[in-house]
Amino acid sequence: MKFDNKLILVLIAAIGIYAIFLFVSDFGVISEKISNFKINYLPLILLFVTISWIPLFMKWHILLKNSEIDIPLRKSISVFLSAPALGITPGQIGVLMRSQILKTSSNIPRTKTIPIILVEKVYDLVGALLASIIGIIILEIEPYLIIIAVSVLSTIFFFMYYRPASELFFRRITKTKFFSKYVENISEFDKTIQKSTNVKIATICILLAVTYWFIISIAAYYTLIGFDVSILDYLQVLAIYTTSILLGAISFIPGGIGITEGSIASLFTLNGIDVSTALILSVMIRVLTLWYSVSVGFIALKFTGAFSFRKNSL
């Protein structure tokens, strides 16, 4: 099945899941909440979502420069912005298409860009975990969640900095059927991984990732304010949003659709928001964060020439 057909299935599934979410809600509440949404907050929400991309682009640009990959700024921005559209795939594996775009348009070896994209996603995960831990501490949630988060972080850093483990891990990955098609030179792959995970680069990239999660959570917070829900403060929303995103990510469901929304709604409910309102808020937060980003991603894909590459390869 082609990538675009899979994408259509993801979109249909998303619409179906959101329809179910709203169906189990109180239609009276839905109508009232939507009609009472303070539309003047919409530009502010979208502004914060857009601003949140800045630290992520800086991370992407730093990783490229660190590996001596020099591409025009406009091309770098368009390839970066295409990531959300490619990310609504199982495990976000579609983001690796950025590597093919750079190879086709700029003749940059995939062996140099695939490890950068993988490391980039690891830094995003670490950033989300750190932001989530901060929020969990503020919320005074059960300490075992912090223990789990710290354990995951420890495992990630073990594989990043204990070289025999990291080499074994990535060699196993590159021998899989999927990755073997894209990795032509294992030694070059390992070299890029090492350069992208040195302590200085890792510290900068993780700080940028944490900054992203703090900014995008502001957008989620103002979504609640727009619906006149002020029962939760910003740090509570930060913890709920990042934790839900992590749960969606580890599910390997495209975009975490269903899992993330369900987690957001459940955590909102546990913190005093009624079920119907929580379901509406979870869907709207995802529409204004995930699907806004995906829409921009498809526009960016057009500028990368990805659609032309696909036509020529058929």
Question: pLDDT tens, 229-275?
Answer: 999 999 889 989 998 888 888 777 777 888 899 899 999 998 899 88
- Which regions of 104-252 does DSSP assign to beta strands (E)? none
Mean pLDDT for 55-65 is 95
Q: Above 50 in pLDDT, residue 313?
A: no
Residue 164, pLDDT score: 76
Instruction: Give the pLDDT of residue 27.
Output: 63
pLDDT at position 175 over 70: no
Give 96's DSSP letter.
Answer: G
pLDDT at 5 over 60: no
Nearest to residue 52, comparing CAs of 196, 279, 222? 222
Q: Which residue carries 């601003």 as its tokens?
A: 51
Q: In angstroms, rounded to a whole number, what is the distance separating the alpha carbons of residues 139 and 48? A: 23
Give the residue-averaged pLDDT of 26-47.
Answer: 83
Q: Name the percent of the chain lying above pLDDT 70.
A: 76
pTM: 0.85
